[in-house]
């Protein structure tokens, strides 16, 4: 299986890359980012191809050539609400929405396998009615809603395409001391059933990889569904590594 991962050097992208190394069904990974993918020393990275682009809205012919024959894409590129203050809204929309469309179009024009599975990473709580603006991050939420609706139209507009919207809650991890503290707080709450939607990045990575390889359980996956799929997939990965 040939898999494209965009945002491959980001918080989630790096974990997705790491897990692909332990999934035999994935034989080729096109890791798209604006800087080279860094892997641990001694790791067999022969199936990872680092593809560097200047902008997620522009795909030269040599980059498109790398997309040819791909079976799936996991699209992780976006500006999260917590980074909105660093960009004007036009740029936020361009990266979240326009670049998603440009990236998909480049992959489809390259001639992917069929079915071609496209997984779009969104967030739990994103509305599906663009006429109802939420009180918090209203314009941003409506824009993400319209982006989801755009992605959901891809199969009708492009033969042989399947899409899935993944809506995780807060993504936790232990890559830094502060992130570890937050992860431990959520872990304590999770003992009583995840009252605040959250997911560890390893669970999220495992879930979207599982869906890319095996097909989509449903068109939109909510946080609890992603957690369930991810935890099961992680157990399966450990079994493969131990065998």
Q: For 164-186, what is the mean pLDDT?
A: 66
Q: Is residue 180 situated within a structural domain?
A: no
**Beta bridge pairs of residue 5:** 31, 74
Q: pLDDT-derived band of residue 82, with 50, 70 and 90 as boundaries?
A: confident
26 and 74 Cβ atoms separated by less than 8 Å: no
For residue 101, is pLDDT > 50?
yes
Q: What are phi and psi of 168, to 5 degrees?
A: -75, 160
Per-residue model confidence as pLDDT tens digits over 4-59: 999 999 999 999 999 999 999 999 999 999 999 999 888 999 999 999 999 999 99
As a whole number, mean pLDDT of residues 147-172 equals 97
Look at the chain and report how many structural domains it folds into. 1
Q: How far apart are CA 3 and CA 74, in angstroms?
A: 8
Of the chain, the percentage scoring pLDDT greater than 70 comes to: 89
- Whether 165 has a pLDDT exceeding 50, the answer reads yes
Q: What is the pLDDT of residues 216-238, one digit of tens each?
A: 999 999 999 999 999 999 998 88
Helix (H, G, I), strand (E, B) or coil at 142: helix
CATH (domain of 90): 3.40.50.720
Mean pLDDT check: name the lowest of 3-12, 56-65, 195-204.
195-204
Domain containing 101 equals: 2-168+200-242
80 in a structural domain: yes
Q: Report CA dihedral (208, 165, 224, 93) to the nearest 10 degrees.
A: 110
Asked if residues 68 and 5 have their Cβ atoms less than 8 Å apart, the reply is: no
Euclidean distance between the first and final Cα of the chain, in Å?
21
> What does DSSP say about strands 2-6 and 28-33: parallel, antiparallel, or unpaired?
parallel
> Residue 191 domain-assigned?
no
Residues 6+ apart with CB under 8 A from 13: 5, 6, 7, 31, 33, 76
Q: Show the tokens assigned to 67.
A: 């997309």
In whole angstroms, how large is the CA radius of gyration of the chain? 17
Tokens 């030269």 locate to 60
pTM given for the model:
0.90
């Amino acid at each position: 299986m040939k898999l494209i991962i965009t945002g491959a050097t980001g918080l989630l992208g790096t974990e997705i890359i790491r897990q692909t190394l332990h999934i035999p069904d994935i034989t080729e990974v096109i890791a798209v980012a604006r800087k080279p993918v860094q892997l641990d020393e001694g790791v067999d990275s022969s199936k990872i191809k680092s593809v560097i682009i200047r902008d997620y809205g522009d795909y030269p012919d040599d980059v498109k050539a790398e997309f040819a024959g791909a079976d799936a894409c996991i699209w992780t590129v976006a500006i999260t609400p917590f980074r909105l203050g660093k960009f004007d809204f036009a740029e936020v929309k361009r990266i979240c929405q326009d670049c998603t469309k440009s990236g998909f179009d480049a992959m489809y024009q390259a001639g992917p396998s069929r079915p071609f599975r496209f997984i779009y990473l969104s967030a739990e709580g994103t509305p599906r009615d663009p006429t109802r603006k939420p009180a918090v991050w209203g314009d941003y939420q409506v824009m993400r809603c319209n982006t989801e609706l755009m992605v959901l139209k891809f199969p009708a507009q492009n033969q042989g395409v399947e899409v899935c919207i993944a809506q995780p809650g807060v993504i936790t991890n232990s890559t830094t001391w502060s992130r570890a503290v937050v992860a431990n707080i959520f872990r304590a709450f999770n003992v009583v059933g995840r009252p605040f939607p959250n997911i560890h990045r390893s669970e999220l990575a495992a879930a979207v990889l599982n869906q890319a390889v095996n097909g989509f359980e449903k068109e939109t996956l909510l946080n609890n569904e992603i957690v369930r799929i991810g935890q099961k997939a992680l157990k399966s990965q450990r079994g493969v590594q131990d065998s």
